[in-house]
């Protein structure tokens, strides 16, 4: 037999130690190409810069480097055009790309590409590049989403509605104030994402399998070439750290939690019982049985997918919690939950942007839901401005509410001046001026309040933070 005969494990990057064939089910169980090929661009870019580092060490000649880069760009085009042919033995994106490079430029030159590099630092690098690029894209989408909320709030700032606690009518607020509250949640998500990006953007490349690089490669050169801000200073940590995955999944879970609450409010407001808003047809569906139905499926899916994303976080944390130091194969379980969560979040932001940009509000229904009992606190405040302690005025206002109920009146504003005086002599005739919803909201001028000036101040601050 020729000494060049192909061995069963020859195609594998790790196959030199093995002579027997593996179980086909094990090949399937072990393979990650079906889902990690999404990182083809990051993998090719990482290899391109890594070979530049090898060239600096004179481990690859200028001519070899040019051929390698030409081959890598050809592979990139194949992936982009959908013409890349996957073959048996391509267990992951790294194996597939290196195998194809050998076919294009010859195995002798292609075989130098992996000098001093391990798939351990290679996959960590690919993932950080991929996550960095994806999160950067999410930042842009999120800014657009928040901008859509702010734009709507500015244009509909004069619309009043009930504010709720415990799903009970509480005090009058501006619709724009409600919009601003969620814009605030999402802006905090935006700022958290910026912070996570800083921690993601550190380079593990050049750490080798675990112990470092045997040829003294310039890791700072590699980091700069790949757009990283820094290198991970310990080679053991570099290959095994997946905190950036956990943080991304945590961020995704928290963001989707906010999206879920946002959706729940809008679902409630869209019901016939409330009738505050109506979703555009593009984000609604009908019933297969009841032709009158218009279901807020877009919002229900946004609410439901928050559980899916949290499941990804919980599952990966359980996979990670007992892994010993450096790289272990368990870490391959980082990709599917991460990729699924990022895709879900991306789609959710785009759908939520469409929903909030196209829904219509029913001003008359919102303002028609305001009831005079919601001004009970304003009635208490009326006496506070006349020097009465709030705890006393709270009790007096409660008596007024009870009196109106006993008299079967439609609201406390229906009490006569004489009835107010019978409850407390410090009420004067101008007490009736309290019962004006616009006046009520305009009194809340302190930072964060629902007065027009306060809401506009909130919206400007959010806009400045995004800019």
Contact, 284 vs 294, CB < 8 A? yes
Q: DSSP E strands: which ranges in 125-213?
A: 160-165, 168-174, 202-203
Strands 230-231 vs 360-361: parallel, antiparallel or unpaired: unpaired
User: What span, in angstroms and rounded, lies between the C-alpha atoms of 280 and 292?
Assistant: 15
287 carries an active-site annotation? yes
Q: Which of 9, 22, 258, 287 is catalytic?
A: 287
Contact, 147 vs 466, CB < 8 A? yes
Report the residue count for the chain.
467
Q: Which of 2, 108, 166, 322 is catalytic?
A: 166
Burial category of 404 from C-beta neighbours within 10 Å (exposed 0-12, middle 13-18, buried 19 and up)? buried
Contact, 101 vs 72, CB < 8 A? yes
Cα separations in angstroms, 208 against 45, 83, 93, 123, 167: 18, 31, 18, 11, 57
203 pairs with which residues across the strands? 231
User: What span, in angstroms and rounded, lies between the C-alpha atoms of 95 and 339?
Assistant: 20
166 carries an active-site annotation? yes
Contact, 102 vs 23, CB < 8 A? no
User: What span, in angstroms and rounded, lies between the C-alpha atoms of 447 and 338?
Assistant: 39
User: What span, in angstroms and rounded, lies between the C-alpha atoms of 394 and 366?
Assistant: 27
Instruction: Indicate the DSSP class of residue 295.
Output: B
Burial category of 175 from C-beta neighbours within 10 Å (exposed 0-12, middle 13-18, buried 19 and up)? buried
User: What span, in angstroms and rounded, lies between the C-alpha atoms of 458 and 445?
Assistant: 11
Nearest 5°: phi and psi at 277?
-135, 165
User: What span, in angstroms and rounded, lies between the C-alpha atoms of 41 and 132?
Assistant: 13
**Longest C-alpha distance within the chain, in Å?**
114
H or E element, residue 115: none
Residues annotated as catalytic are 166, 287
């Amino acid at each position: 037999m020729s000494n060049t005969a192909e061995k069963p494990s020859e195609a594998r990057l790790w196959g030199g130690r093995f002579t027997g064939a593996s179980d086909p089910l094990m090949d399937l169980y072990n393979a990650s190409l079906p889902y990690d090929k999404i990182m083809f661009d990051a993998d090719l870019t990482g290899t391109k810069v890594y070979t530049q580092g090898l060239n600096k060490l004179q481990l690859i000649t200028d001519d070899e480097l040019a051929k390698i880069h030409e081959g890598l760009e050809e592979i990139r085009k194949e992936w982009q055009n959908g013409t890349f042919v996957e073959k048996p033995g391509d267990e992951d994106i790294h194996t597939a790309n290196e195998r194809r490079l050998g076919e294009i430029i010859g195995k002798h030159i292609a075989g130098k590409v992996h000098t001093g590099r391990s798939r351990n630092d290679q996959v960590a690098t690919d993932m950080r590049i991929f996550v960095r690029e994806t999160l950067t894209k999410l930042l842009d989408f999120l800014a657009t989403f928040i901008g859509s909320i702010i734009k709507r709030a500015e244009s509909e700032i004069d619309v009043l509605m009930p504010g709720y606690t415990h799903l009970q009518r509480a005090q009058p607020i501006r619709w724009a104030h409600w919009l601003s509250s969620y814009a605030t949640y999402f802006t905090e998500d935006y700022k958290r994402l910026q912070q996570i990006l800083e921690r993601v953007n550190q380079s593990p490349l050049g750490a080798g399998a675990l112990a470092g690089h045997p040829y003294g490669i310039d890791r700072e050169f590699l980091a700069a070439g790949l757009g990283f801000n820094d290198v991970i200073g310990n080679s053991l940590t570099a290959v095994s750290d997946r905190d950036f995955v956990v943080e991304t999944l945590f961020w995704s879970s928290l963001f989707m939690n906010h999206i879920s609450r946002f959706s729940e409010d809008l679902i409630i407001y869209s019901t016939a019982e409330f009738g505050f808003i109506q979703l555009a047809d593009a984000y609604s569906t009908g019933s297969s049985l009841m032709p009158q139905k218009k279901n807020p499926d877009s919002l229900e899916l946004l609410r439901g997918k928050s559980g899916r994303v949290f499941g990804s976080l919980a599952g990966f944390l359980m996979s990670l919690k007992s892994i010993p130091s450096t790289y272990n194969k368990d870490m391959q379980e980082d990709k599917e939950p991460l990729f699924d969560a990022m895709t879900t979040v991306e789609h959710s932001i785009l759908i939520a942007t469409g929903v909030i940009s196209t829904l219509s509000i029913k001003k008359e229904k919102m303002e028609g839901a305001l009831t005079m009992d919601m001004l009970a606190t304003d009635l208490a405040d009326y006496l506070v401005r006349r020097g009465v302690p709030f705890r006393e005025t709270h009790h007096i206002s409660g008596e007024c509410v009870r009196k109106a109920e006993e008299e079967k009146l439609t609201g406390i504003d229906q009490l006569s001046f004489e009835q107010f005086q019978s409850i407390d002599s410090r009420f004067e005739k101008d007490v009736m001026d309290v019962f004006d919803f616009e006046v009520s909201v305009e009194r809340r001028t302190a930072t964060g309040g629902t007065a027009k000036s306060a809401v506009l101040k909130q919206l400007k601050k959010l806009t400045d933070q995004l800019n």
